[in-house]
Chain A
Amino acid sequence: MADKLRAQQQLEQLQTRFVGTGHADTTRFEWSSNIQRDSFASYVGHPPLLSYMAIGMGECREKVRGAMIEVG
């Protein structure tokens, strides 16, 4: 009982700190939208990768970046 309680509290704490973490009742939708956001964040956070994608998409780098921030 106590352990469960503590686990629950820990999970809540974790969740407030890391939005992307989940639990047994996370829906597929929540999970996948988090994945999307994380992916965009990751692309934007790695400038070389961003440049690579921009070149591939034939867009200006800043535009791609902006679009990613917008979508995410």
Chain B
Amino acid sequence: MSDSDFDTIRKLQAERNAASAGKKGSKTFDPSNQRTDVSTKASLTESFDTTLYERDSSDKFAGYNTSIAVADGDDDDAEEDTSRRLVGQYTASKEQMNEFAHGNGVEEEDILLGREKSARIADRETDYQKRRLDRVLTPTRADAFAANRQAGASEDGESYREIMARRELEREEDRVRKAIEEKTANGDVVHHKATLVKEGSGSPSDKENKESGSTEAAAAGRKRKKRWDVGTDSADSATATTDAKTKRSRWDQTPAPGAASVDQTPRKRSRWDQAPAATPMGNQGLVTPMHPSQMGGPVLPTAFGTDISQRNAPWSDEDLDMMLPSEGYKILDPPPGYAPIRTVSQKMMATPTPAGGAAGFGGFMMQDPDSGRALGKQLPTEIPGVGDLQFFKAEDMAYFGKLTDGSDENAMSVEELKERKIMRLLLKVKNGTPPMRKTALRQLTDNAKQFGAGPLFNQILPLLMEKTLEDQERHLLVKVIDRVLYKLDELVRPYVHKILVVIEPLLIDQDYYARVEGREIISNLSKAAGLAHMISTMRPDIDHVDEYVRNTTARAFAVVASALGIPALLPFLRAVCRSKRSWQARHTGVKIVQQIPILMGCAVLPHLKGLVDCIGGNLNDDQTKVRTVTSLAIAALAEAANPYGIESFDEILNPLWTGARKQRGKGLAGFLKAVGYIIPLMDEEYANYYTSQIMEILLREFSSPDEEMKKVVLKVVSQCAGTDGVTAGYLKEHVLDEFFKSFWVRRMALDKRNYRQVVETTVDLGQKVGVGEIVERIVNNLKDESEAYRKMTVETVEKVVASLGAASIGERLETRLIDGILHSFQEQSVEDIVMLNGFGTVVNALGTRCKDYLPQIVSTILWRLNNKSATVRQQAADLISRIAMVMKQCGEDALMGKLGIVLYEYLGEEYPEVLGSILGALRSIVTVVGISQMQPPIKDLLPRLTPILRNRHEKVQENTIDLVGRIADRGPESVNAREWMRICFELLDMLKAHKKGIRRAANNTFGFIAKAIGPQDVLATLLNNLRVQERQSRVCTAVAIGIVAETCAPFTVLPALMNEYRVPELNVQNGVLKSLSFLFEYIGEMAKDYVYAVTPLLEDALIDRDQVHRQTAASVVKHVALGVVGLGCEDAMLHLLNLLYPNLFETSPHVIDRIIEAIDAIRMAVGPGLTMNYVWAGLFHPARKVRQPYWRLYNDCYVQSADAIVPYYPNLDDERMDRPELAIVI
């Protein structure tokens, strides 16, 4: 790199700086603090630097949320802290947070951005997941296992036999439907097609009929079968219609009280029958068979209307006259026969309150519960007896409308009252504010047994089936179920299936936490209901016609297995997997076995043999689907068992390998996957043998166009390559050529998933065959024209080199590699961390071998540092920090000096991210060359850093404080004291940074500076800072004082600090106490010399009127006491204990916690015997208020030193309290 180059770059840079400086006036209006600097005096805090150096950007806070208050863990004086925040702030910058939102490198997800934002669960569900809405809440089931059946609960409900019969019927229907469809497709005209298609098509109403009453349905089914078998004449279709009619009439005859009113609104009925939520009312089996929505449905509009009639009253003629122009318009007479609807109930029908989310209702409707005037106003946020809710949706009205009808509660029966009570509590939980929610949840839990399972679940479960449910609501309702389950225990049995219907969809939710929640509920459910009942409940779903139901059931079964133990479920699984009757059952059985290891991981190991035996036979199943899922299950088992358990797979090895030869397509993919997971478990020689057996298939499938197959093949190759038995020679000879030919093509780099797989597999192969082999083959791609392909290459090289080093890279290859990397680094159009990492790793791995290339690299960096684009500059600076170490090793000190100077001149950088990187680069240079050799000299560098300390950007702050701290630590003498003082002022601000690392670094730097220039000046600054208003900065100052005391010995600080306590100002005194607290925490045992000095101060503080005062003093006492344990200051401690003790009756949790802690600490110092003497007196005090804190102290002592208090228990005159052993004297 020639000097002229440097000069050019520096010149360009100077121009840039001048240009950016021109944009800002130095002494005029400063946008960063909104002030015009008119003062002629030099401000101490706003130092000269602004005039010497231009501000680093016109708005240094751009892009930051300046309004966020700083708050972290320390909530000692809650009195002052007005915010109600319980947790600390997140410390990520805006950019970082948005990174995930906008998918930096996750382009695929961007498409879903709109969906992700929606809170409604239904909006982001896939079509498959939406199929949960097709399911219905099945009737309550009989509890066959109840030991002592409760009256009422026993006789109701469907028996297992009935359900199985119904499933049988469904299957038959499905079969017939399929047959007919086939027939139709073949051109045969079937006259009764319409009826049949309707029946089998799975429309909600139909389903409901199928699922609700089994005996009737069975009867109907028999008739229908006759229809299908016999005829095509029209008489039959007539029967069919009558049949349908009778069925409906059955609906109307249900004992539900709301049904009568339904008859009066026939239009609504059709809607209503279809509503999944409405199902439960169809069953005689329910304890309270009605869902509120049904009763509330017809009643609600009136109740509603009375509420809103004022606001929504029609405009009067006068109003309209006033509003509308009188000329040019004519008032028309209403058409003859028109009578305005006066009854509110009918009007309400027109509003889009979807009762239970009916499928066939209405047309398109824009519906926004928040903004719509019509809707929003009708919905009360105040429900009688509930209080103010957070929100109330239109849909909620269907469920909770009943609460607003204003009927007289005195006239109600106990059951009704109970129902209303539950409804109210549920509404509070679902829509209430957090405190309301909490108490309501508590009440629900506590009274669960009293309410009974029926009334509770009949209200909760339909809510969960609601289409417009949001995440939060679902979470809360699920929580209610969880709590209630716990209390109800086996009383839930009749409701298990219903609960499963609503909870199973959670198991396939996208949200991880929803899945976990679902698992938890199901496992609690199975513990409550017992295995036998779970099996009998879920058994009918195992060969359900709907694949969705089977899938979710399999997952639920796996959860049951993990909750109740695999051995308990194994006999059942074995039976299911060998079912002769339906392949669906086998498929589901195998799927259960597949889900178990996914859920439980290596916990399957003890039962591996049993599980494999279970499904082993299914590898040769007639059905392709069963074979495929079996191979996948074996893969999952082997993955979970890794690296153990090969002996369990012995049986299936042969079928698996021979099967792999026979299969094609998707089936083959599954088999290969299983093979891939089993090979790593094997011994060396077996692995080698079996790999060679399977390799020809793999090689054949290398050229498969199927994406899924490609993925599997890659995975299997990397698994094979990873095993010991497979040698490098074998791979080189048989695999590498084919592999690179089929997978290292540009096309693979374009798809993200393929890209990742190829890189991973190549790296895995590299582990065996060595770096040289891999790099040799791909190094040319570094100069490819496709950027994605270059990136893929760089990433592979980086990973291989990082794990294996660069020793096997020859000289020629080394040149090509560096050349290629430089080329791809320069050619990148989007700056990518991959390139940076790759470059850094390669350079670091080559070490001193890089010497020849360094000038070239540095020149690239310099040019890129001068680039217009900020990200390019940032990347260049980052690269410097990566390679600084190697430059030092290569002895390129001169080059580093030059780089240092260039970076130094770049400190005017306006983009904070870039500035942070530049500071980081400077820091790494300082680290490797040392303070004394640094170019530019430290005395020039540091003053330049002072204004940057004021930058609020986290990255900048972190890097600056690191650099400054390093200088303060290693070479404080290179800068004069005045400059250090100035830095101290700037550091004060940093004490309240968001990020803990920054605060810690700032505090440490205080210590270094205090050491360098003596504590007096620094301390004065800090003590002054104690007077500021802002709490956070006072706290940090207190910490800093503690640190200064620690580094410069306490006696330099303590006098000044104690003197400060004389200031008659609450904040200052508190600050002093807080600093003392930190001080004693830091100095630990040194405290023994200062105990007597601070005791009078503490005395004063502990008898202060102010609570916070005493609280803080207590924390000082705690730290002092813990410091002097065993050092002979017991008298002082006892004195402090006397002063502390009366505070025991404080009620504020913060205060009482500190007091108790302090007493505990003193117990450590003076021993439990003495302290417990204070406690005995109050343990059995008549007043509970006294007993409570005393027992707390006792418990603390008991937990920490139960053994030590044995000799000190009081001698009571009780006969039980006689302990003669202690009186033995020899």
Q: Give the B-binding residues of A (Cβ under 8 A).
A: 1-3, 5, 11, 14, 18, 20-24, 26, 28-29, 31-33, 35-36, 38-39, 42-43, 45, 52-53, 55-57
Q: Output the least CB separation between A20 and chain B (Å).
A: 5
Can you name the residue of chain A whose Cβ is closest to the Cβ of B1184?
Answer: A24
Question: Are A42 and B1224 in touch, CB under 8 angstroms?
Answer: no
Contact A32 B1214 (CB under 8 A): yes
Cα–Cα distance between A45 and B1202 once the two chains are bound (Å):
12
Contacts of A18 in B (CB 8 A): 1195, 1198-1199, 1202
Give every chain A residue within 8 A of B1105 (Cβ-Cβ): none
Q: Which residues of B contact A52 (CB under 8 A)?
A: 1224, 1226
The 5 closest A-B pairs by CB, nearest first: A56-B1224, A24-B1187, A42-B1206, A21-B1195, A32-B1216
A5:B442 contact, CB within 8 angstroms: yes
Q: Which residues on the B side are within 8 Å of A53 (C-beta)?
A: 1221, 1224
**B337 CB within 8 Å of chain A:** no
- Assembled-state Cα–Cα distance A21/B1192 (Å): 9
Cα(A33)–Cα(B1216), bound, Å: 7
For the complex, what is the distance from the CA of A28 to the CA of B1219, rounded to whole Å? 16
CA distance A24 to B1187 in the complex (A): 5
Given A21-B1199, A53-B1224, A56-B1225, the answer on whether A39 and B1206 have CB atoms closer than 8 Å is: yes
Which residues of chain B (1187-1226) have a CB below 8 Å from chain A? Answer: 1187-1188, 1191, 1194-1195, 1198-1199, 1202-1203, 1206, 1209, 1212, 1214, 1216-1217, 1219, 1221-1222, 1224-1226
Inter-chain CA distance A9–B1179, complex, in Å, is 21
Summed over the interface, the residue pairs from A and B with CB atoms below 8 Å come to a total of: 69
**19 contacts across the A-B interface (CB closer than 8 A):** A14-B1199, A18-B1202, A20-B1202, A21-B1194, A21-B1195, A22-B1179, A22-B1191, A22-B1194, A22-B1195, A23-B1188, A32-B1217, A35-B1209, A38-B1203, A39-B1221, A43-B1221, A52-B1224, A55-B1226, A56-B1225, A57-B1221
Which residues of chain B (958-989) have a CB below 8 Å from chain A?
none
Produce 1/0 per residue, B111-137, CB < 8 A to A.
000000000000000000000000000
Scan residues 437-472 of chain B and give those whose CB is less than 8 A from a CB of chain A: 438-439, 442
Interface residue B1064 (Cβ < 8 Å from any Cβ of A): no
Query: With a CB–CB cut-off of 8 A, which chain A residues contact B1214?
Result: 28, 32
In Å, the complex CA distance between A21 and B1179 comes to 12
On chain A, the residues within 8 Å of B1203 by CB distance are: 38, 42, 45
Interface size in chain B (residues, C-beta < 8 A):
29
If the complex has contacts A2-B438, A5-B442, A14-B1195, are A35 and B1217 also in contact, measured as CB distance less than 8 A?
yes
B442 contacts A29, C-beta separation under 8 Å: no
Tell me what chain A mostly uses at the interface: helix, strand, loop, or mixed: helix
Q: How far is the CA of A20 from the CA of B587 in the complex (A)?
A: 54
Identify the interface centre among B435, B439, B1202: most chain A CB within 10 Å of its CB.
B1202
User: Is B1174's CB within 8 Å of the partner chain A?
Assistant: no
Majority secondary structure of chain B interface residues (helix, strand, loop or mixed): helix
B1145 to chain A, nearest CB (A): 14
20 further A-B pairs in the complex, CB-CB below 8 A; given A11-B1195, A26-B1179, A31-B1179:
A3-B1149, A20-B1198, A21-B1199, A22-B1194, A23-B1195, A24-B1187, A26-B1191, A29-B1216, A32-B1212, A32-B1214, A32-B1216, A32-B1217, A35-B1209, A36-B1216, A38-B1203, A39-B1219, A42-B1206, A52-B1224, A53-B1221, A56-B1224
Please give, as numbers and ranges, the residues of chain A lying within 8 Å of B1202 by CB-CB distance: 18, 20, 38
Is B1180 at the interface (CB under 8 A from chain A)?
yes
Chain A nearest CB, measured from B84 CB (Å): 13
User: B439 contacts A1, CB within 8 Å?
Assistant: yes
Give A11 Cβ to nearest chain B Cβ, in Å: 8
Which residue of the partner chain A has the closest CB to B434? A2
* Alpha-carbon distance between A5 and B446 when the two chains are bound, in angstroms: 13
Task: Give B1214's nearest chain A residue, CB to CB.
Answer: A32
Given known A22-B1194, A24-B1187, contact A38–B1206 (CB-CB < 8 A) = yes
For A29, give the chain B residue with the smallest CB separation: B1216
Cα A3 to Cα B1188 with chains together (Å): 14
Query: Which single residue of chain A is at the shortest CB-CB distance from B1186?
Result: A24
The interface centre, meaning the residue of B1202, B1221, B1225 with most chain A CB atoms within 10 A of its CB, is: B1221
Name the residue on A nearest B1149 (C-beta): A3
Complex CA gap A28/B1216 in Å reads: 10
Considering the chains assembled together, what is the distance between the CA atoms of A33 and B1218 in angstroms? 11
Q: Which residues of B contact A39 (CB under 8 A)?
A: 1206, 1209, 1219, 1221-1222
Residues of A within 8 A of B1206 (CB): 38-39, 42
Most chain B CB inside 10 Å of its own CB: which residue of A14, A24, A53: A24
Docked CA distance A66–B1031 (Å): 61
Given contacts A26-B1191, A38-B1206, contact A56 B1216 (CB under 8 A): no
Choose among A22, A24, A31, A56 the residue that contacts B1226 (Cβ–Cβ < 8 A).
A56
Per-position 1/0 for B826-861, Cβ under 8 A of A: 000000000000000000000000000000000000
Closest to A11 in B: B1195
Residues from chain B with Cβ under 8 Å of A43 in the complex? 1221
What is the minimal beta-carbon distance from A32 to any residue of chain B, in angstroms? 5
Q: Which residue of B lies closest to A21 (CB)?
A: B1195
Chain B residues lying within 8 Å of A11, measured Cβ to Cβ, are 1195
Q: How far is the CB of B428 from chain A (nearest CB, A)?
A: 14
Q: How many angstroms from the CA of A11 to the CA of B1196 in the assembled complex? A: 11
Q: Contact between B1198 and A21 (Cβ–Cβ < 8 Å)? A: yes
In the complex, what residue of chain A is closest to B1212 when comparing beta carbons? A32
The residue of chain A having its C-beta at the shortest distance from the C-beta of B442 within the complex is A5
Chain B nearest CB from A70 CB (Å) reads 14
Chain A residues, CB < 8 A from B1187: 24
Q: Which residues of chain A have C-beta atoms less than 8 A from B1191's C-beta? A: 22-24, 26
Give the chain A neighbours of B1179 by CB distance below 8 A: 22, 26, 31
Instruction: Say how far B1226's CB is from chain A's closest CB, in angstroms.
Output: 5
Q: How far is the CB of A17 from chain B (nearest CB, A)?
A: 8
Residues of A within 8 A of B1219 (CB): 36, 39
A49 to chain B, nearest CB (A): 9
Closest chain A CB from B1202 CB (angstroms): 6
Q: Which residues of chain B are within 8 angstroms of A14 by Cβ–Cβ distance?
A: 1195, 1199
* Complex Cα–Cα for A45 and B1203 (A): 9
Closest to B1183 in A: A24
A41 to chain B, nearest CB (A): 8
Complex CA–CA separation, A54 to B932 (angstroms): 74
